[in-house]
Amino acid sequence: MPLFSETFQNKAKLISRRMFILSTLKVGVFVGIISRLFYLQISENIKYRSLSDKNRFREWKLVPQRGIIEDFFGEKIADNVQTFQLHMIPEDVPNIEELFFRLSKIIDFNERKRNSLIKRLKKRKRWEPIIVSDNLSWSEFSKLNLFLHEMQGVKPVVALARKYSKDGSSSHIVGYVSDISVKDLENSKLLREINVPGLKTGKNGLEKFLNEPIIGQPGIQRFEVNAYGKRIKELKLVKGITGESFRTTIDKEVQKFTSKLIENKSASVCVMDIYTGDIVSMVSSPTFDPNKFVHGISQEDWQALIKDTKKPLINKSMAGLYPPGSTIKPIVALSALENDVISPKFTVECRGSVDLYDRTYHCWKEKGHGFMNLRNGIKQSCDIYFYEVARRLGVDRLSVTAKQFGLGQKVLGTFLEERSGVVPNTKWKLKNIGKGWYLGETLITGIGQGYFQSTPIQLCLMTAQLANGGYKIKPKIIYNEQDFQTTTEDGGEKFKQLYRNQENVKFVLDAQFGATNEPMGTSYRSRHVKPEYIYAGKTGTSQTRTITAEERELKLKQKDLPYKKRDHALFTAFAPYKNPRYAFSVVIEHGGTGSSAAAPIAKKVIRKVLDRHKLRTKYQSDLFKEV
């Protein structure tokens, strides 16, 4: 009996122990389940809600709308137009080869585009959206929406794309936009922050310079989707911020008119307001269609552009460097007068050539001009006269005056492609070439040859600052009402005096009047007779190579030479002569002579600009009243 009782007690203890352990385990499991539920539902609530939402919702960043670029009169020269795109998120596509096959049956998705997309996919993260096509037709876009339920991971998008004038008259000023490259992202913090599929960035011109304020901020579009990723309904739309729009000083009508005049030529025409510094026109030819870059230029079009010997992608107005030729003679004359080297009565006999040491320096007129004073020297553009003036003046003093009037430095600073040019002097040659200066180099510098290099916009600024009486102005291409308000105030840098004796400036301007409006003047054949169009100008012909003795003996005319061997033709002018308002520069590459190729074009542009002057003045006055 005691034995049975003891056995019973041992079994009871064992059962009790097991029950305790089991109960403990139950409590532990229960606590574990509660803890896990707490962890999942409370601690990790945001995470799993986000994962759930990811299956239910889709967010798409919307490309921001770029600001508009307008001409002075509010005419759009860079606008936006509706475009249809197809976006894809790679991680949401179950079978990418199957998707590609389906797309090839619906849209223009050939093998080349397929391979290009695969290359881009390898460089991107799988969850980052990528654009399959950014310029779908309406037919393609409609078909995509019809079969969207059969294609997971893709989304048709209505977006905006850049649109430019097809005539290309302002292409070099406006520039163009294109896809963002790795280099663009490296160089711009803003692009890294707002980068979304389909976002374009400015590559050159104003599109590049104004990129940050004009690009805007992206919006967000949120959809509820089903298990297949098909949109059920739009839940939220956060509109992006449109980029800032800009008005330029350019006159679109003058641009188009001028572009037509120099069509098929390698040339530049610049027009500037001599008081406000407004760039009224700046045309470079040949031009190109910037619309081709917006959606990615084809290899065929790209090769055609880069192989064109007339270099249509180069903005010749700011990046083209040319010896100024005889257009520099008014500055040489002014510098000599200002430094009391000569007087207006200083006379030189021109016999067609002059010898210095063992070299002969020729005048453009083979038999010479005879006895020349300063006014006739400018009027008839006598090289022999200016050889002697330059010899007496010296290159260093000439360099100072040329730089004061805008040569040898960037004019706008707005464009990355703008070049500074060269105004040579003794220190420049020693620093850049490592050799001393020769007297013979001073002579050819005096007629705008040798090391002298200038851009057409610099020549226009030089002429403007002479025409306004010798005052410094600040050229601009972006219109600003505040600039207009301050143009009548004294004391600013814009009105810095560039002369010592203003009578010297007046003398040079009068000599240019003679060059255009008096017999024997080099641009006399291109003069205007009507008083309201009368202007003053200076022709220039800059050599592109050394003329051989054999060629001089043959007396070959420019038109008889191969294109590449012809001289560049230049012309600078200001108009009207009485109460001048605009400065002009024309450069025709390998045009032959300034009088035959450049001056006739300037004559037509001058008339067009003066015809639109009253309209421009009235419009500017109205804008000023609004401010």
Pairing of strands 69-70, 246-247: parallel
Average pLDDT along the chain: 86
| CA–CA distance, 320 with 303 (Å, rounded to integer) | 21
Q: What does the pLDDT average to over 394-412? A: 96
- State the residue for tokens 């009207």: 576
Q: How many CB atoms lie within 10 A of CB 231?
A: 17
| CA–CA distance, 499 with 478 (Å, rounded to integer) | 28
| CA–CA distance, 93 with 98 (Å, rounded to integer) | 9
| CA–CA distance, 365 with 384 (Å, rounded to integer) | 10
Least confident among 94-98, 329-333, 407-411: 94-98
DSSP per position, 23-63: HHHHHHHHHHHHHHHHIIIIITHHHHHHHHHHHHEEEEEEP
Length of the chain: 627
Phi/psi of residue 79, nearest 5 degrees: -120, 180
Q: Which residues contact 579 (CB under 8 A, 6 or more apart)?
A: none
Band (pLDDT 50/70/90 cuts) for residue 413 is confident
* Domain regions of the chain by residue span: 62-247, 252-285+314-626
Q: What is the pTM of this model?
A: 0.84
Chain segment 155-194, per-residue pLDDT in tens: 787 878 899 988 899 999 999 999 888 888 888 888 888 8
Q: What does the pLDDT average to over 305-334? A: 95
CATH class of segment(s) 252-285+314-626:
alpha beta
Flag whether pLDDT at 116 surpasses 90.
no
| CA–CA distance, 474 with 456 (Å, rounded to integer) | 16
| CA–CA distance, 600 with 579 (Å, rounded to integer) | 22
| 90-118 CB burial, b ≥16 within 10 A, e <16 | bebbeeeeebbebbeebbebeeebbeebe
| CA–CA distance, 382 with 395 (Å, rounded to integer) | 19
| CA–CA distance, 252 with 78 (Å, rounded to integer) | 11
Fold of 62-247: Penicillin-binding protein 2a (Domain 2) (3.90.1310)
Helical (H) or strand (E) element with 158: strand 154-164
Helix axes 599-611, 613-626, angle to 10 degrees: 50
Chain segment 11-25, per-residue pLDDT in tens: 666 777 777 777 777
Chain segment 538-564, per-residue pLDDT in tens: 999 988 776 666 666 666 677 778 878
